[in-house]
Chain A
Amino acid sequence: MIWLLVIGLVLHLLNLVRLAIPRESSQLNVVANLVNAAALVCGLTFSLTALLDYHRLEYRFELPATGDVVIGFDGLSLFFLFTFQLLSLAASLYAIDHLRAYSGRGSSVRTHLWFFTLLLLALQLLVVTQNALVFLVIWELMALGAYFAIVFDTDKPEVRRGGFWYLAATHASALLLYICFITLRELTGSWNFEDFARRAAYDPKVLALILLTGFTGFAVKAGFMPFHVWLPNAHPAAPTHVSSLLSAINIKAGIYGIARLTVLLPALNAAYGWGLLTLSLVTAVLGVWYALAQHDIKRLLAYHSVENIGIIGLGLGIALLGRSYARPELVVLGFGGALLHTLNHAIFKGLLFFGAGNVYSEAHSANIEKMGGFARVIPLTGATFLIGAISICGLPPFNGFVSEFLLYKGLFRASDLLTGYAAIASLFAIVGLAFMGGLALACFAKLYGIVFLGHNRSGIASGKQSEPMLSGVALVGLAVLCTLLGVYPAAGLRLVAPALEQLPGTGQAPVGWASPLGKLQIIYLLFLTLFFVTCGLKLWLQWVNGVRIRETWSCGYAQVSSRMQYTASGFAEELVKLGRPMLAFSVNWKSLRTILPSEATFASRCLDRMEEGWLLVNRGVGIFFGGLRWIQSANIRDCVLYLFAAVFFYLLCALVW
């Protein structure tokens, strides 16, 4: 079946070639995206069949400078390949309608599509490469594609700024990864992952260097706190199909990296597991808390991605602990939960971003305070967004519940199998997971309630329905997947199973580790039956007793306007207040001060403490190097002196060693 994937990759390449030819055509957008979609359908067929009928595939060939290059399709690679292709397909379909509005922009659309295709190609190649050097090259290509795809509306300053955040973060991440992989190469003498895995023991100090650089590098990409700051800046800047890709799968490249590293390295000291667990909990709780305070729909979703990365990290943390304490069950539950949540999050976050994009093109604003009542204007988006919102809160019967259930189970088992303080710590992690569940519920109740329900707050709902067909296909497809993976947990578990098989430390994966999820359908069927009976009874009673439509009861007040509805800030304010001092608002308030009325304005913005921290660090770095600038602007004689000093220094070094 590998030829299907090859066809897919060739189609991507052909697309790149066509888009490089400077010949504009009005149908370019449609054709390019459809070719991408066709390529992804081929690739998806390959990865799905390979996952269902799993056996390891491997292809080797020589490249100068890198030695043996292995393109390997193991369980982990295939799983991520499947996830990436699935969401890329949805984004390609969505992009057709989204980019149609820009068809007058000529070459900028062509350039954008070129880099978008590059991003899709790089994402697929990244996960199948089993060679560190090639991996790094593709990693850079992916960053390049993503950066230029983000900066589409280059005339907006916030887009340039958001793009720059992405570029800076991705460079920092790449730098750390270079250190990590070069160290591994020095130790093992090979760039291949399989040779890394073959080495049984590492010097603890070197291992610490590898882990810290590797984990941090991938954590920057994934968006763990405090490295998450690029997400809420880059996501609103990008066009919708790109921001959905960024959030749904690009950050998962970081998760893939962490997962790959844990597979490659031997069992670690438990401190690493606890460290990852703590970091993930902090990331998840603060991420959702920041999300609660946002008014910008894409920024809010970006912070929610940070939360979900925390949840995935929680699973990886459990798996690490399971390996260090030699508890195969924990490894399976943690790793399985984390991987499944990766897929699930990709699906519902893609869905939510597409929905947000439709809302944006309807409202021409990302500020949710101006929205309301969109469930009536764009009903399909309203219904699918609701499914996405329920899924992301981890509520049954959708897919978010399945992966969160596995994580709960893993933590419960951890408090069971581990002794001493570890048991109590896992209980606290359980409670933390429940707490962020409550916050996520509040956040999505706010988002859905304010954006889709009630009346429109500013009259910006144009009433013209902008739910193009292909975006509808993407939305409905993802919503169906949310339901399917939720109601049939076995389907998702089947996709994860090959990755778990190859996992070191699982020993033999305990049979029936996910068995409680076995026949969850019975409960859902019971629920559905009861629901239909109740609805039937309700409809019958209403048919007998009658239904009337009247305006909302407002305690007798007659002059109700849509501006009197509860606002998003009002809804979240009390909860946000609890999060001080991590959550602060910058308030810009020009109030009435004089007797005669003058113009009054009010604007508030949630400050991200960590963003401020990074900016402060940047400023410090800038000042430090600014202080060294005199060296650079010296006259020629000084420069010769520096050269001489440098040569002298090297000679001295050579002499001493």
Chain B
Amino acid sequence: MVKLSSDPWLWLRYVLFFAAAPLFTGVVNKFKALLSGRRGPTLFQPYYELGRLAHKETVYSTSAGLVSRLGAPVVFCTVTIAALFVPLGTSSAVSFQGELILFAYLLALGRFFQILAALDVASSLEGMGASREARFAVFAEPIFFFTLGSLATITRQYSFATIIAGISWRDPLFVVFVSVGLLALFFLMTAECSRMPVDDPNTHLELTMIHEVMILDASGIDLALYQYVTSLKLLLYCTLAGLLLNPFGASGLMPGLLILIATLFVLGFALALIETLMARLRLVLVPQFLLFAAAIGILNVLVYAFSRKA
């Protein structure tokens, strides 16, 4: 049964969460700038960008139809609703047994519309991005189900809040399982949030055309929505990882929430470090990278299952 939380403080947390999404991108960018020896823009630069775009005129392609006009709002709504499943307190804003599946499928719905919106403008560049996005997404969902799905089968729970509550930190095998699974989740995040080494968030040069090129023809408020969604997705995945790593849960302020925020900083720093040290992978290598993540997931499940039996 679907339950809506009636706790106003919990909903306030979600409001803060949604408001903080561009800030987190700002933090990652700041880390990146500092690591490469620059001072970098302020932490609030993403907000200025969004504000600037919102006040710009929208330019539509002559071939753009209803799909590309609806694309940005649909993508925005799917990710926002999916974010409501992430438990920011003792429970999530919306919860039911099986939200794991709805979460994955809502994100897939957003992706479907994003690909269609890219194909709608009849440009070969955006078609290329759309094709690549579709290809990498094929790997993304299995990885998601190997990491979070296997956690669900092991804890016998199907909603994020109960899965996270079901992790027993006393069991060393479980700790190993969760930490290795997180590695796969981290790889998945780089693909889903179009970060290095899968995609380069800073450029839409044709060699790196995935996410940035799909929104090449978006402008004004549409572009603002797409960019907001990118930062929201990043925060969403990092929060999920942070919650899985957090033995105290996010229910109390001390130490749960503080640990969560500290984990977010660590993950942001790790992202920035990777982006500073590494170049983007060649596109032909990306499927191998994702298959590697899937293989980690498979091995992790098998090792857990066999050592449990022994």
A residues within 8 Å of B by Cβ?
Answer: 372-373, 375-376, 386, 390, 393-396, 401, 405, 408-409, 412, 415-416, 420, 423-424, 426-427, 430-431, 434-435, 437-439, 441-442, 444-446, 448-450, 453-455, 515-516, 518-520, 522-523, 526-527, 530-531, 534-535, 537-538, 541-542, 545-555, 562, 564-566, 570-575, 578
Bound together, the chains give a CA A390 to CA B140 distance in angstroms of 19
Bound together, the chains give a CA A423 to CA B153 distance in angstroms of 8
B residues within 8 Å of A by Cβ?
Answer: 1-2, 4, 54-63, 65-67, 70, 72-74, 76-78, 80-81, 84, 94, 96-98, 101-102, 104-106, 108-109, 111-112, 115-116, 118-128, 130-132, 134-135, 137-142, 144-146, 149-150, 152-153, 156, 158, 216-217, 220-222, 225, 287, 301-302, 305, 309
Question: How many A-B contacts at CB < 8 Å in the complex?
Answer: 240
A-B pairs with lowest CB-CB distance, top 5: A566-B127, A449-B119, A454-B122, A438-B138, A442-B134
B73 touches A534 (CB 8 A): yes
Q: Please tell me which one of the listed residues B54, B77, B216, B302 contacts residue A534 in the complex, with CB atoms under 8 A apart.
A: B77
- 5 further contact pairs, Cβ within 8 A, besides A395-B108, A547-B57: A431-B142, A455-B122, A538-B222, A549-B61, A578-B287
A430 touches B141 (CB 8 A): no
B131 touches A548 (CB 8 A): no
| A399–chain B nearest beta-carbon distance, Å | 13
Interface of B is mostly: helix
Q: Please tell me which one of the listed residues A446, A453, A552, A573 contacts residue B65 in the complex, with CB atoms under 8 A apart.
A: A453
Chain B residues, CB < 8 A from A409: 98, 101, 158
A545 touches B119 (CB 8 A): no
Chain A residues, CB < 8 A from B101: 405, 408-409
B58 touches A441 (CB 8 A): no
Chain B residues, CB < 8 A from A538: 72-73, 221-222, 225
With contacts A375-B67, A412-B152, A565-B122 known, is A551 near B61, CB below 8 A? yes
B301 touches A571 (CB 8 A): no
With contacts A454-B122, A534-B76 known, is A516 near B67, CB below 8 A? no
Chain B residues, CB < 8 A from A430: 145, 149, 153
B220 touches A545 (CB 8 A): yes
Bound together, the chains give a CA A426 to CA B1 distance in angstroms of 24
Bound together, the chains give a CA A386 to CA B74 distance in angstroms of 14
Interface of A is mostly: helix
With contacts A454-B121, A531-B73 known, is A416 near B130, CB below 8 A? no
Chain A residues, CB < 8 A from B158: 409, 412, 516
Would you give 29 A-B contacts (Cβ < 8 Å), ordered by A? Answer: A405-B102, A415-B153, A416-B156, A423-B153, A426-B153, A430-B145, A434-B142, A437-B108, A438-B141, A441-B134, A441-B138, A445-B116, A449-B127, A453-B122, A516-B98, A520-B2, A522-B2, A527-B77, A538-B222, A542-B221, A545-B56, A547-B59, A549-B59, A549-B61, A552-B62, A552-B123, A566-B119, A566-B131, A575-B135
Chain B residues, CB < 8 A from A416: 153, 156
B109 touches A396 (CB 8 A): yes
Q: Please tell me which one of the listed residues A424, A541, A570 contacts residue B305 in the complex, with CB atoms under 8 A apart.
A: A424
B58 touches A545 (CB 8 A): yes
Bound together, the chains give a CA A550 to CA B72 distance in angstroms of 19
Bound together, the chains give a CA A375 to CA B66 distance in angstroms of 9
Bound together, the chains give a CA A573 to CA B127 distance in angstroms of 12
Chain A residues, CB < 8 A from B106: 396
- Quick one: which of A516, A552, A553, A571 has the most chain B CB within 10 A? A552
B145 touches A434 (CB 8 A): yes
Q: Please tell me which one of the listed residues B111, B302, B305 contacts residue A441 in the complex, with CB atoms under 8 A apart.
A: B111
Bound together, the chains give a CA A424 to CA B56 distance in angstroms of 53
Bound together, the chains give a CA A376 to CA B94 distance in angstroms of 38
Q: Please tell me which one of the listed residues A373, A386, A571, A572 contacts residue B63 in the complex, with CB atoms under 8 A apart.
A: A373
A571 touches B131 (CB 8 A): yes
Bound together, the chains give a CA A439 to CA B139 distance in angstroms of 9
Q: Please tell me which one of the listed residues B62, B97, B156 contacts residue A550 in the complex, with CB atoms under 8 A apart.
A: B62
Chain A residues, CB < 8 A from B98: 405, 408-409, 516
A551 touches B62 (CB 8 A): yes
B120 touches A449 (CB 8 A): yes
